[in-house]
Amino acid sequence: MFHFIKLYKDYHLFLLSSILIVLSFPKIEISGLIWVALVPLFFALEHKTPKQALIIGFVVGFLVSLGAFHWVLYTLQVFGGLPLWIAFPIFLIFCSFCNIHLAFFPYLLKRFPIHLPPLVWVPALYTILEFLTPQVFHWYLGACLYKKLWLIQFADITGVHGVSFLVVTVNVFIYELLRWIKKETEIFPAPSLAVTLILLLLAGIY
Confidence band for 1, pLDDT divided at 50, 70 and 90: very low
Spans of all domains in the chain:
2-205
Residue 100 above 90 pLDDT? yes
C-beta separation of 130 from 164 below 8 A: yes
Nearest to 16 by CA among 2, 32, 36, 35: 36
SS3 category, 143: helix
Q: How many helices (H) and strands (E) does the chain have?
A: 11, 0
Average pLDDT score over the chain: 85
What local confidence, expressed as pLDDT, does residue 190 receive?
Answer: 60
What local confidence, expressed as pLDDT, does residue 134 receive?
Answer: 76
C-beta separation of 172 from 148 below 8 A: no
Confidence band for 196, pLDDT divided at 50, 70 and 90: low
C-beta separation of 14 from 59 below 8 A: yes
In the chain, % of residues over pLDDT 70: 84
Stretch 95-118: mean pLDDT = 90
Stretch 106-111: mean pLDDT = 95
pLDDT digits (tens, 9 = 90+) for 2-53: 454 455 567 899 999 999 999 999 888 899 999 999 999 999 999 999 999 9
Confidence band for 104, pLDDT divided at 50, 70 and 90: very high
Task: For residues 41 and 90, give the distance between their C-alpha atoms in angstroms, rounded to a whole number.
Answer: 27
Q: Phi/psi of residue 151, each to 5°?
A: -95, -25
Within 25-70, where are the H helices?
39-44, 50-68
- 62 vs 189: which has the higher pLDDT: 62
C-beta separation of 61 from 21 below 8 A: no
Residue 109 above 60 pLDDT? yes
Stretch 65-76: mean pLDDT = 93
C-beta separation of 36 from 20 below 8 A: yes
| Least confident among 2-16, 59-73, 82-96, 119-133 | 2-16
Nearest to 103 by CA among 68, 129, 140: 129
Nearest to 56 by CA among 64, 143, 177: 64
| Least confident among 38-47, 139-148, 186-195 | 186-195
What local confidence, expressed as pLDDT, does residue 54 receive?
Answer: 96
Stretch 75-94: mean pLDDT = 94
E strand or H helix that includes residue 31: none
Task: For residues 192 and 24, give the distance between their C-alpha atoms in angstroms, rounded to a whole number.
Answer: 26
